[in-house]
Structure 1
């Protein structure tokens, strides 16, 4: 190295600092500032509040008779009429899909009907909750006013109640829930497994489809 040339150039000789970072480079070990921590905390709180408000607004299904509008069910062929939520019916009366009627609808709107059993296989141990018995989408409101739920698209064909035989000395009544959802978009049926009706994620289905349960019904029956 030519020392004289460096000295004559007017530049001072400084010892090299091998690990010194440029002024614009942040030290990865430097702790986050209070401003960054507060901003992140505020963001998380806002997201939680948005989720909580949305969850409160969402009408999730209930396994018992919820308050609000009630569907009217009629046995095929104009037989028995069931309009009181919680009615007990004979299993033989539900061998075929009922006529489902509801007047408080918009004639041109579309609706989804779901029938599910929350007590499968046993009410005290419902390992297959929810058992999906029936699902019809794209039902016109005008058809519901006439009691024709089959006027829509059948996603899961109807099967009648099948509560198992109870243990000796016990009873095993099952609840069968009907939910009517007003469609806000094309129905999302991705959670429906055509090969297996058990463990249907009803809450997630309702959330995925707009959370608009407008009416419901329940009856119970036994083996």
Structure 2
């Protein structure tokens, strides 16, 4: 079984090893013009024996591969030219433009590579996000579903405009609660028990642009806190993080590393504990990108009656992503309140005394 790969896409002296399939058997099958033993994805021997390649595929596939690989070779030559220009150029604006052009060419050079396409479709949790082409495919998948889903939930549940006026999502924000029997990524808008959310969540922020230790602020707020005196609602800040450095290589916000560290945590995590008969509380997670080179010095921040819009404006924060879940009073709520020394919660009724 011979491989069609013999050009730039098999040259890892100039390219990252992460652009190749890790499974050698799968790689060999994917890059072979013939499949006498059937695709690797077929597990049963009988299925492999019955398999037949589509008519003409054995001739067409190597030709198509060779053509696409030759186009990639030309693109890599353009990248080399830009790299030489970058060494000679001093103007920062021109340099930035050249870098953007180089990034786009790095996508163009690999976007049709079968190994890249396979990794992007079936290995999204382990691909190398420092590679522009992988970020390209991640962004495409996110825009096809995840971006629309989070905006639909934010607007349908009126988190927009009840917290911030609007959002132009630029990053994919994922959230889960480790060690609380739901070790999975939470779908935006899910209703979670107070027991499941009694510990701070872990977040993953997936940037689609090149990111090297950009700084982020994370605010978790509840805009449904009863304000009895004004017969209305106020916003409670449940967790505040600042100056968290993230990159394409590491976009995880791990609570274990941040909790209790005043360099990052300026308001400690307080789990949502809705009081009885107050309905579902929307718990909004807002991720902000900080101004370049600027650290947040928030000063004194009150947890209650928190003005998220004012805080973002004063600290020059740009909202780039969000998540949310919903919380409601349940049989675990009083235990969680006791755990955090909150005392017994009130019970609301329709009757006014």
* TM bucket, shorter chain: 0.5 to 0.7
Which SS does the other structure have where 1:181 is aligned? strand
Q: Is the aligned partner of 1:112 residue 2:217?
A: yes
Q: Is the aligned partner of 1:121 residue 2:223?
A: no
Q: CA deviation at 1:155?
A: 0.2
Question: Which residue is 2:187 aligned to?
Answer: 84
Structure 1 stretches of at least 4 aligned residues deviating more than 6 Å after TM superposition: none
Q: CA deviation at 1:70?
A: 4.3
Larger Rg: 1
Return the structure number with greater relative CO, CA threshold 8 A, min gap 6.
Answer: 1
- Pick aligned residue for 2:199 from 91, 96, 109: 96
Which SS does the other structure have where 2:206 is aligned? coil
Question: Which residue is 2:285 aligned to?
Answer: 178
Q: CA deviation at 1:61?
A: 6.3
How far apart in 1 are the matches of 2:218 and 2:280? Answer: 23
Could you tell me whether the CA contact under 8 Å between 1:91 and 1:222 is conserved in 2? yes
Which SS does the other structure have where 2:313 is aligned? helix
Gaps of 5+ in 1: 1-59
Could you tell me whether the CA contact under 8 Å between 1:188 and 1:208 is conserved in 2? no
How far apart in 1 are the matches of 2:191 and 2:322? Answer: 16
How far apart in 2 are the matches of 1:179 and 1:96? Answer: 18
Q: Is the aligned partner of 1:74 residue 2:176?
A: yes
- Pick aligned residue for 1:187 from 296, 303, 325: 296
Q: Give per-residue Cα distances to partners, 1:6-39, cap 9 Å, x unaligned.
A: xxxxxxxxxxxxxxxxxxxxxxxxxxxxxxxxxx
Gaps of 5+ in 2: 1-158, 330-353
- Pick aligned residue for 1:216 from 273, 297, 322: 322
Q: RMSD value over aligned CA atoms? A: 3.0
Q: CA deviation at 1:107?
A: 3.2
Could you tell me whether the CA contact under 8 Å between 2:235 and 2:307 is conserved in 1? yes
Q: CA 1:84–1:125 in structure 2 vs 1: closer, same or farther (change >3 Å)?
A: farther
Q: State TM-score, norm by structure 1.
A: 0.60
Question: Which residue is 1:22 aligned to?
Answer: none
Q: CA deviation at 1:162?
A: 1.2
User: How many correspondences in the alignment?
Assistant: 156
Which SS does the other structure have where 1:159 is aligned? coil
Q: CA deviation at 1:144?
A: 6.1
Q: CA 1:62–1:148 in structure 2 vs 1: closer, same or farther (change >3 Å)?
A: farther
Q: CA 1:202–1:113 in structure 2 vs 1: closer, same or farther (change >3 Å)?
A: same
Q: State TM-score, norm by structure 2.
A: 0.40
How far apart in 1 are the matches of 2:298 and 2:231? Answer: 27
